[in-house]
Amino acid sequence: MQNLESFRYILPELVLAGFAVLMFGLSAATRGKQNSLQRVWIPLLSVIALLAALFFGLSSTELTSVIFSSRESTSPPAASNLFFGLLTFDPLGVFFRMLVMIATLVAVLISIGSPDLPKDRTGEYHGLLLILALGMCFFVASNHLLMLYVSMETVSLCSYLLTGWNTPSNRSREAGLKYVLYGGVASGIMLFGMSLLYGLLGHLSIPELHSAFANSELIQTDTGRWACIVSVMFILAGLGYKIAAVPFHMWSPDAYEGAPTPFTALLSVAPKAAGMAVILRFFHSIFVPSSDSITTLSSGLDQIPWVLFIGILSALSMTVGNLIALAQNNLKRLLAYSSIAHAGYVLMAVASGGRPGFEAVTLYMVVYLFMNMGAFAVVSVIDRHLGTEEIHGYKGLSKRAPLVCFVMAIFLFSLTGLPPTAGFIGKYYLFAALFQKGGTWFMVLALIGVLNSVISLFYYARIVKAMYLDKTTEQSSEMIPVANLATVVAALLAVPTLILGIFWDPLARLADWSASILR
Amino acid sequence: MLESTLLTWITFVPSMGMGIIGLMLLIKPVLKLSNQTLDNLSRFVALVASGAAFGLVLWLWQGFEPGLTNPAYPTTQLQFVHHLVWIEAFNIEYFMGVDGLSITMVILTGLISFIAVVASFPWGIEKNDKKHFSRKSVPGFMAMVLLLETGMFGVFCALDFFLFYVFWEVMLLPMYFLIGVWGGPRKEYAAIKFFLYTLAGSVLMLLAMIALYFASNPTTLVDGSPCSHTFNLIKLATENDFGSVGLLLGVDFTKIVFIGLFIAFAIKIPMFPFHTWLPDAHVEAPTPISVILAGILLKMGIYGILRINYSILPEATVWARYAIAVFGTINIVYAAFVCMAQKDLKKLIAYSSVSHMGFCLLGMAAFTEQGITGAVYQMWNHGIISPALFLLAGVIYDRAHHREIEGFGGLSKQMPEYGALTGLAFMASLGLPGLNGFISEALCFLGAFNVFTVLTVLSALGVVITAAYYLWTIQRMFLGPLNQKYVNLRDMNWRERLTLYPLSAIMIVLGFYPMPILDLMNHTLHELVKPLAEASGLL
């Protein structure tokens, strides 16, 4: 498709880009001042930008009708070759585009009034957040390895900056630097993998790579096969770093702990969701034989043991993430390890693939958005008033902030995966996808997964225990004033966390729709 | 009555009470209620809600016709069915109903929950005992008890596996908080141990449930729409033959699913070697929670095995019967020996529960009608006797603030009424003829003797040890010279009488005339055990 025709499919991204430029302009005009523009208008503009982008995103698709009507989803919108095949416009991309924009919106709302963020640079902060959202939108829609790389770097660069945003704090700057170093190495490896692949097969576009793998003579030879495996592993390493899967997770605890809490909330959800979408698209578009390539059945597609790689990543992420989380005392670090474990859970379904696997991944990421961002919102609220992120600071908190502790308990039990919360439904879909696929390898993964859920209960319950069971160590026992926007956001996030645990038909339809790229 | 919404009402009336307590907490600042008023109001709401549920349960009992076959499910006695489609995308239904097996447990749940709420009132507790659990965060306590009650009713009424699982897990959270917030000195340890053990079991159940779902045959939902798989427990049992599914993880499908489910339920029973959470949970839990735990939660293990393993996986059940019987015998004998060594009264009662649940395992593994009737009746009787025992332990703990058996002596002089009730409950528990425990134990032995002769003889040894530890406990606590520290102990008060006399009356009445309960379950258990007995060559 020609460039000009393609533009009408990327209206949300154009809106985000326009507002981001506006933000940078505004911030240049107000640099160093603390006025109402910085305090009120810029965050409000940022909210408006995201709402407008969401509106355009919704209106250009049939998402709303999928959510609200119980009829079977109609045929998906098909525009697979925007900008000469750099981007694609399919249900999976559209779904995750919405998801990352909603996550960014929540992060913008939690950011308002956060003490972690310098007061005189709000314009740049919100501009970068919008660019980050823009990068993720392109990331999930990219159909070409070059576009994939460029958009991933956009996301990464904004993330580095925002992680180190709290410049007065040594920890934040250290986290930013660590993140740059790890990120630079990871994206270098990924780029190396892509260049190897290009050298071996002569293509970078994902659909063309599919047929190249299927028909290549090279891959049938031993050396060629190993070269292909290595290059695919390199690309997986880069993507694994984005979703913080073990063993590419080293950056995440430090970055999560040091970054401003509202940004940590975003970092733990949106890039992870986008990375999952890209892994789904990359591996399933390239290596799963499509119905029209039956003629080339004994092809090079099954020469690459990617299911095994992802399964191993999954088992490692779950186990290592959960075991290390047991020993954490800092809540943000604990949630960092827990989010590594959650990446592992989702990767189980990514490995199993097929329509059930796609559905499980999309459904889980929605649920994960609500519960994980909710938990970080609570951490942010408590940090504002007590100045602590340590678990022992939460002792006896239920007496002093009953509402906040109540919603936190909901989020934590949902992260554990206990009914009647949404987290259970998410886990249920993941395991159901594995069972539907069948086979010993997936059964073993499922067993590892459930045992890990039991382990995870222990550290989530530690927080609940501190809040509800322990006596406060501090002298003061007066109520904590929590009437601010972040509390409202946390409480609002608890509502879908509970409702989706009892009634999730609309979400299931949405997941089914987004999985309809597999026919 | 074949179709009714009564079970839905019974299940959710307690959670409505919880909702009202929540609302009161929200409007407390608006109406400027004092903490005292709020405490009393929430006690009242809990009493009314659990009382209303109990009233509805009695109505259910009155309307239940034993032996009435449901034409929609020809091999069952399902009644009061409430059946809707819940989540169409995954063929999950809201399916509630009772048959002869579950109605006994529903009645027990209604009764014991009501008694537990009464036992949570602070009447008769010394005014200066500010730290007593019944005066601590009362709205939270009552809300949690009511949520627990909804979970318990739901487990016994649910006939859709997914629904069953949700209710099963819903019970975990309130129990964790009830032990963890209102418990004794080592409450955190006991609460998390309970939570981890039970969750470890229930995730295995989750996997087994998903495996069964994907192995099930296509059928229709209640609204007539076709579905490729089903969670409907009745259809899983009647329309599927899982014996032909093949292998899973290199083992026969039915066997591995059976093992997963069995471990999940065995943890709840609790069966040796998964029993170690129980003494900790009981010792630390406040009295009413021990009552609910021993009276109802322990029954869910046996109930689950009968409802799910026995009816859905008959081949594997026949395969596993010796193991079940052996574990039952170990439970009976081992736990009885452990009881002999206990110094803490509550721990002794907790281990005696482990021992008594062993009779259920032995009886139900025999696949004879007497055996399985004895097992279910033993569940019911234990659900009456062990709450009474825990209430009695609570009585003495509220007065003496300790439970060391050796620390008492000669109490029957000071507290004759207490001594008499304790003696009665102990005798019922050790199986004295004329009291209800005797009938169910005798039925279990009768049913099992011809099938597992050696194991039954060994288990009879357990009965002797049971008599020994109970009599020895009576001797140490109630006979001999009165400990001079306790010359001021008061005898029973009205709250304690209100909870203990009904239970004692049931023990005596059912000891002479067990038919009201046995009649309810006979037909269903007959249907349940017939195919198993045929498959194992007993018929």
pLDDT, tens only, A227-282: 889 999 999 999 999 899 988 988 999 999 999 999 999 999 999 999 999 999 99
CB spacing of A443 vs B249 below 8 angstroms: yes
| Closest-CA residue to B308 (of B360, B231, B379) | B231
Give the model's confidence band at A74: pLDDT under 50 very low, under 70 low, under 90 confident, else very high.
low
Chains A and B: how many Cβ contacts under 8 Å? Answer: 82
CB spacing of A447 vs B195 below 8 angstroms: no
Of A105-109, A218-222, A355-359, B89-93, give the lowest mean pLDDT range.
A218-222
Mean pLDDT of B158-172: 92
Give the model's confidence band at A69: pLDDT under 50 very low, under 70 low, under 90 confident, else very high.
low
Residues of chain A that touch chain B, judged by Cβ-Cβ distance less than 8 Å = 70, 413, 418-420, 424, 428, 431-432, 435-436, 438, 440, 443-444, 446-447, 450-451, 453-454, 457-458, 461, 465, 468-470, 503-505, 508-509, 512
CB spacing of A454 vs B214 below 8 angstroms: no
Q: CA dihedral defined by A507, A509, A512, A516, rounded to 10 degrees?
A: -130
Q: Is the pLDDT of residue B291 over 70?
A: yes
| Closest-CA residue to B327 (of B384, B259, B428) | B259
Say how far apart CA B414 and CA B436 lie, in whole Å.
Answer: 28
Mean pLDDT of A404-431: 92
Give the model's confidence band at B292: pLDDT under 50 very low, under 70 low, under 90 confident, else very high.
very high
Tokens of B90: 């995954």
Say how far apart CA B242 and CA B235 lie, in whole Å.
Answer: 12
- Tens of pLDDT, residues A117-172: 888 788 889 999 999 999 999 999 998 999 999 999 999 999 999 999 888 888 88
> Distance of CA B276 to CAs B337, B339, B429, B470, Å?
15, 13, 21, 21
pLDDT, residue B217, reads 86
- Tens of pLDDT, residues A327-349: 999 999 999 999 999 999 999 99
User: In chain B, what residues touch A450 (CB-CB under 8 Å)?
Assistant: 203-204, 206-207
pLDDT, residue B326, reads 93
CB spacing of A436 vs B169 below 8 angstroms: no
CB spacing of B166 vs A419 below 8 angstroms: yes
Note the ipTM here.
0.89
CB spacing of A446 vs B207 below 8 angstroms: yes
The one-letter amino acid code at A147 reads: M
Prediction pTM value: 0.92
Q: Please, what is the average pLDDT of chain B?
A: 89
Tokens 């009645």 appear where? B107
Neighbours of B387 (CB within 10 A): 29
**At a CB cut-off of 8 Å and minimum separation 6, what does B303 contact?**
B101, B102, B105, B155, B156, B379
Say how far apart CA A198 and CA A145 lie, in whole Å.
Answer: 10
Give the model's confidence band at A1: pLDDT under 50 very low, under 70 low, under 90 confident, else very high.
low
Neighbouring-strand partners of residue A390: A330
Q: Is the pLDDT of residue A294 over 70?
A: no
Q: Is the pLDDT of residue B225 over 90?
A: no
Minimal Cα distance from A450: which residue of B? B203
User: In chain A, what residues touch B133 (CB-CB under 8 Å)?
Assistant: none
B211: left (phi over 0), alpha (psi -120 to 50) or beta: alpha
CB spacing of A70 vs B250 below 8 angstroms: no
Neighbouring-strand partners of residue B227: B219
> Distance of CA A283 to CAs A90, A191, A214, A294, A442, Å?
16, 17, 13, 18, 17
Tokens 């011809």 appear where? B450
Chain A interface test: which of B147, B203, B204, B257 (most A C-beta within 10 Å): B203
Give the model's confidence band at A70: pLDDT under 50 very low, under 70 low, under 90 confident, else very high.
low
pLDDT, residue B539, reads 61
CB spacing of B195 vs A465 below 8 angstroms: no
Residues of chain B that touch chain A, judged by Cβ-Cβ distance less than 8 Å = 87-90, 165-166, 169-170, 172-173, 176-177, 180-181, 187-188, 191-192, 195-196, 199-200, 203-204, 206-207, 210-211, 213-214, 248-250
Q: For B6, phi and psi rounded to 5 degrees?
A: -55, -40
Tokens 């704090």 appear where? A169
Tokens of B130: 């500010």
| Closest-CA residue to B168 (of B307, B375, B33) | B307
Of A234-238, B84-88, B249-253, B381-385, give the lowest mean pLDDT range.
B249-253
User: In chain B, what residues touch A503 (CB-CB under 8 Å)?
Assistant: 87
Minimal Cα distance from B170: which residue of A? A419
Closest by Cβ to B87, choosing from A446, A469, A505: A505
Q: How far is B323 from chain A (nearest CA, A)?
A: 24
Q: CA dihedral defined by B210, B212, B217, B223, rounded to 10 degrees?
A: -60
CB A351 within 8 A of CB A311: yes
To which H or E segment does residue B93 belong? strand B92-98
> Distance of CA B475 to CAs B432, B468, B471, Å?
17, 10, 6
DSSP B306: I
Tokens of A14: 């154009």
CB spacing of A418 vs B211 below 8 angstroms: no
Give the percent of chain B with pLDDT over 70.
100
pLDDT, residue A475, reads 64
User: In chain A, what residues touch B192 (CB-CB under 8 Å)?
Assistant: 458, 461, 465
CB spacing of B169 vs A418 below 8 angstroms: yes
Mean pLDDT of B78-96: 88
Residue A299, SS3?
A: coil
To which H or E segment does residue B204 belong? helix B187-215
